[in-house]
Amino acid sequence: MTDTAQQQESGQRGQVNPGLRELFNVSLMTALQERRTRRVARGMSVDAYGLTHESEHKPKSLSPLEEAVLIVSTGPTGAVMHDGPLVMRDGRDELGTPFMNAISRAAPSPDNAQAAKIFMINDDGIWLIKSLKPSEARRLLDDRPRKWQEWSEEDWLTAASTMKVKVHEGRLEFPREWPYYIGWNKQISNVPGTTIFFPIVDCTWQYINAFLIIGSEPDGQRPIIIDDWQKFHPKSAFDWIAWAGSHLHLSTLIPYHPVGGTKYIRSGYVNPNATVPLGYARTWRTDHDAFFLLQNLALLGEAMGLGSWTHASVFPPYVMERDASKGWYGLGFRKEDGKKFRRWPPLPAPQPNFVGIDGILEGCCPPYVGSMDEAVDKVVEFKYSGDGVYSNPQIFSGAYRKQTQGEEYLKHASHYSKECVQYAKDVANYIWDTYGRFPAHLNSFYVPGIWTQFAHLETDYYDKFMDPSVYPRQAAHDGLWDTDEA
């Protein structure tokens, strides 16, 4: 669409900011090449001997529109595609229902779990950019033009308002010292006027979904899950026979505990020569979308002419807590104390576990469910009923040419078997019974420990010391985006 056509289309829907129009003229290749870390925010002074700068400005927060563009870029973008086979090469059914969400977003995500939850921190407070239900996401997209380029300012602002919920008043804040901040971050990270995007990964839902996917592998290839933090501790008579045989060199040594004991091996449900160690698996790659989201945001910030800086956040576990007596004003997660062990397993198993924010962001684990059986059932229900990815043909078929094609897929797509669901329950219950938390080999909410800060730059500092070629878009930013000051 040409600039003139875009202005005419958007003009019918409302005002379009000149900066917003210019944003769509910046190519991806330009943003990639020109992306830099630019740390010095408006109103910031720098004490650096001959490179000292004293700011004459007050901090300047991002405008609602600027924040809205950043927020929306992390949200729904359209229907996810199931462009894969439903039949294996040998004619058996392939699992056709691995995904967790029917709506995609701009960052790739393992099994479309979208487990990375983004918190936004600004002068007004701490916000969660919430995950919309498929019907909510579909409605948000259907109420606006298909292309972002055709959105008006009001489209961006109302979409962002739909996606965010305030968690706490006031900026996240901690003492400006170790072990909360490190190095430069003590002075220039999370300062007034800046907006921060901070990913936290909910590992509970996709952790269970991963067990279900593993349990759906074909006979002979289905791996056994082992706990590489525990020696084999037999319980049943058959377990003891296997243990004795391995120690008498009559059978293969069993060095780690097979989850579920030997019954799944004896039944042939799992292949004992194919193992998945819980400690080695860690996040099951569930955290990867957090990094893609931050990269997207960094490129978008460059295209908008904002200063951006991806760096170490306030360190976990402190950032998860709120305790005014200690000057800790973090996210305020519920903390569940760890189980007492005679011999401590590796970290983080014996440590407190952060399981959610009541009523806002809750993990699929106790105390938000009554048992791990219920947690597994909840994941299955989330996918196959109500507003789930495989329960609404109209939403599911959004990426197909015809709804009947999506319905054809759903007709033949295999679900998790009863045996698969029971195996997932046995694994989940083993973890809970052994460690008193879920998961045990990582926290329910994993903190990658980095965040991306956006700011209007202290251009006087850059004009004084930096080559103009390394901040041209930032130098021009105010003239494009600050229409009220023009």
pLDDT in tens, 307-362: 999 999 999 999 999 999 999 999 999 999 988 898 888 999 999 999 999 999 99
Residues near 375 by Cβ (< 8 Å), separated by ≥ 6? 204, 208, 364, 365, 366, 369, 428, 438
How high does pLDDT run on average in the chain? 93
For residue 4, is pLDDT > 70?
no
CB atoms within 10 A of CB 362: 17
d(CA 324, CA 326): 5
Dihedral of the CA atoms 86, 88, 90, 92 (nearest 10)?
A: -50
DSSP state string for 229-250: TS-----SHHHHHHHHHHHTTS
Residue 14 is predicted with a pLDDT of 65
Question: Quick one: what percent of the chain has pLDDT higher than 90?
Answer: 85
Q: And the tokens for 268? A: 């042939």
Compute the average pLDDT of residues 445-474. Answer: 97
Tokens of 334: 């519920």
**Cβ atoms of residues 457 and 41 within 8 Å:** yes
How many structural domains does the chain have? 1
Give 28's contacts (C-beta < 8 A, 6+ positions apart).
Answer: 299
Establish how many alpha carbons lie within 13 A of residue 262's alpha carbon, considering only the half-sphere containing its beta carbon: 18
When comparing pLDDT for 12 and 290, which is higher? 290
Residues 473, 33: Cα–Cα separation, whole Å = 13
Q: Lowest mean pLDDT: which of 76-90, 226-240, 404-418? A: 226-240
In a domain, 262, yes or no: no
Q: Report the distance separating Cα 7 and Cα 338, nearest Å.
A: 58
Q: 461: left (phi > 0), else alpha (psi -120 to 50), else beta?
A: alpha
- Domain span at 52: 3-208+285-485
Across residues 29-57, what is the average pLDDT? Answer: 98
Q: Using an 8 Å Cβ cutoff, are 321 and 172 in contact?
A: no
Q: Which two tokens stand for residue 166?
A: 């305030």
Say if residues 300 and 153 touch (Cβ distance below 8 Å). Answer: no
Largest Cα separation within the chain, whole Å, is 85
Give mean pLDDT, residues 79-104: 95
Structure tokens at 102: 């029917």
In this prediction, residue 233 has a pLDDT band, given cuts at 50, 70 and 90, of confident
Residue 170 inside a domain? The answer is yes
- pLDDT category at 1 given cuts 50, 70, 90 is very low
In terms of Cα–Cα distance, which of 86, 73, 67, 66 is closest to 18?
Answer: 66
Amino acid 239: pLDDT: 78
Alpha-carbon distances, residue 374 vs 84, 119, 366, 384, 424 (angstroms): 30, 28, 10, 15, 11
Cis-peptide, bond into residue 255, ω within 30° of zero: no
141-198 confidence digits (pLDDT tens): 999 999 999 999 999 999 999 999 999 999 999 999 999 999 999 999 999 999 999 9
Which residues make Cβ contacts (< 8 Å) with residue 164, sequence separation at least 6? 71, 120, 127, 128, 129, 130
Per-residue pLDDT tens for 365-407? 999 999 999 999 999 999 999 989 999 999 999 999 999 999 9
pLDDT above 60: residue 461: yes
Residue 38, in any domain of the structure: yes
Dihedral angle, C-alpha 262, 268, 274, 277, nearest 10 °: -40
Q: Measure CA 140 to chain center.
A: 20
Q: pLDDT digits over 244-279, tens only?
A: 887 777 777 788 899 988 899 989 999 999 999 998
Give a yes or no: residue 277 inside a domain.
no
| pTM, two decimal places | 0.94
For residue 128, give the 3-state DSSP assignment: strand
Backbone φ/ψ region at 204: left (φ over 0), alpha (ψ -120 to 50), beta: alpha
Two tokens, residue 88:
């294996």
User: Is pLDDT larger for residue 34 or for residue 251?
Assistant: 34
Asked if residues 394 and 402 have their Cβ atoms less than 8 Å apart, the reply is no
Helix-strand-coil percent breakdown of the chain, rounded to 5? 40, 15, 45
12 — pLDDT class (breaks 50, 70, 90) = low
